[in-house]
Amino acid sequence: MPGTGDGPRIDLHTHSTASDGTLTPAELVRAASAAGLDVLAITDHDTTAGWSEAVRALPPGLTLLRGAELSCRWYGTEPAIPLHLLGYLFDPESPELVAELSRIRASREVRAERIVARLRADGVDVSWPEIRTSAAGGTVGRPHIAQALIRAGLVRTTTEAFRPEWLGERYRLPKEDIDVFRAVRLLRQAGGVPVFAHPRASRRGRIVPDRLIVELAAAGLAGLEADHEDHSAAEREHVRALAGELGLLVTGSSDFHGTHKTVRLGAHTTAVEAYERIVAGATSGVVPVTSVG
Ligand code: AMP
Ligand code: ZN
Ligand code: FE
Ligand code: FE
């Protein structure tokens, strides 16, 4: 349940305009403070571009955990399954990781432009320059295309835009994600702490088997996100039990995207013990930041 107990309120997964959220990093930290959060992680897709603005705008009393959500893929099955890894407190200048993130972002550009071309070939009036502009300088993603479909009057909501007849399947194209084992290794090498985001979110598409999570735990995965709006109650329980068996920490978070999603900041939260394990696990010298005002 959100906000259980009297401990600090900790939300470890949110997006800003550095990727597909609708609040700027400065607006995001202010909104987090206004929502009564004590700790917020900024975890934009495949980028650390929002970090410095978030630090500069940090309101007194809020602690910021710097992170990112990496677009990964598990190649152990055919076709490979896409998945997301949250990385916390890694060195943002670690060369191999920087190179991988920039490669993924470049692939996102190509893929989004191809999705738009496919829509246009079917007579759908959306424009790549307009979508690219709407993403500003941030990591472009399908939510930006979803907004164009809404502007064109073809769907009413982002959720509708992700239905199979639109971005969910018909106009879904793969991007060049990073191999998930390589991602765990690169995050650890950069002194960061990897957590598997929404590992059982079956409503989003195919999910990976537990045996992969067992292997990832042996390879350096630190935790699993259990409380997430895309997990049913049974899925949350399953994730928690698996984490218990494997000695992994468990997080809960909103995966806030501003108006691109309906979920609110702090809708799910993480226990302070899990947060402390994440902080203790980082070896990069990147630490949580608290503004003293
Ligand atoms: P992309 O990273 O471009 O593949 O787009 C994936 C992003 O789209 C996710 O991070 C979510 O923000 C959003 N998304 C994925 N599935 C859905 C869905 N069913 N409804 C709404 N948003 C979704
Ligand atoms: Zn997103
Ligand atoms: Fe995700
Ligand atoms: Fe996310």
User: Is the C-beta atom of 45 inside 6 A of ligand 1?
Assistant: yes
pLDDT at 122 > cutoff 70:
yes
Mean pLDDT of 10-21: 98
**What is residue 286's predicted lDDT score, i.e. its pLDDT?**
98
pLDDT at 198 > cutoff 80:
yes
CB 234 within 8 A of CB 209: no
Closest-CA residue to 258 (of 46, 49, 27): 27
Residue 233: partners with Cβ closer than 8 Å, 6 or more residues away:
none
Residue type, 236: R
**What is residue 284's predicted lDDT score, i.e. its pLDDT?**
98
Between CA 292 and CA 29 the distance in angstroms is 14
For atom 13 of ligand 1, the residue with the nearest CA is 143
Banded pLDDT at 203 (limits 50, 70, 90)? confident
Report how far apart, in Å, the C-alpha atoms of 194 and of each of 19, 32, 77, 93 are.
Answer: 19, 23, 22, 17
Banded pLDDT at 2 (limits 50, 70, 90)? very low
**What is residue 5's predicted lDDT score, i.e. its pLDDT?**
59
**What is residue 293's predicted lDDT score, i.e. its pLDDT?**
66
Burial category of 160 from C-beta neighbours within 10 Å (exposed 0-12, middle 13-18, buried 19 and up): middle
Give the number of the atom of ligand 1 that is nearest the alpha carbon of residue 175: 4
**What is residue 1's predicted lDDT score, i.e. its pLDDT?**
43
pLDDT by residue (tens digit) across 61-120?
999 999 999 999 999 999 999 999 999 999 999 999 999 999 999 999 999 999 999 999
Mean pLDDT of 179-208: 96
pLDDT at 6 > cutoff 80:
no
User: Is the C-beta atom of 257 inside 6 A of ligand 1?
Assistant: yes
Give the number of the atom of ligand 1 that is nearest the alpha carbon of residue 71: 2
**How many percent of the chain have pLDDT more than 70?**
98
pLDDT at 3 > cutoff 50:
no
User: Is the C-beta atom of 143 inside 6 A of ligand 1?
Assistant: yes
Residue 118: partners with Cβ closer than 8 Å, 6 or more residues away:
171, 173
Tell me which of 3.20.20.140, 1.20.1250.20, 3.30.360.10, 3.50.50.60 is the CATH number of domain 10-103+175-290.
3.20.20.140
**What is residue 292's predicted lDDT score, i.e. its pLDDT?**
74
pLDDT at 10 > cutoff 90:
yes
pLDDT at 190 > cutoff 90:
yes
Mean pLDDT of 181-192: 98
- The answer, as to whether pTM is greater than 0.85, is yes
User: Is the C-beta atom of 198 inside 6 A of ligand 1?
Assistant: no
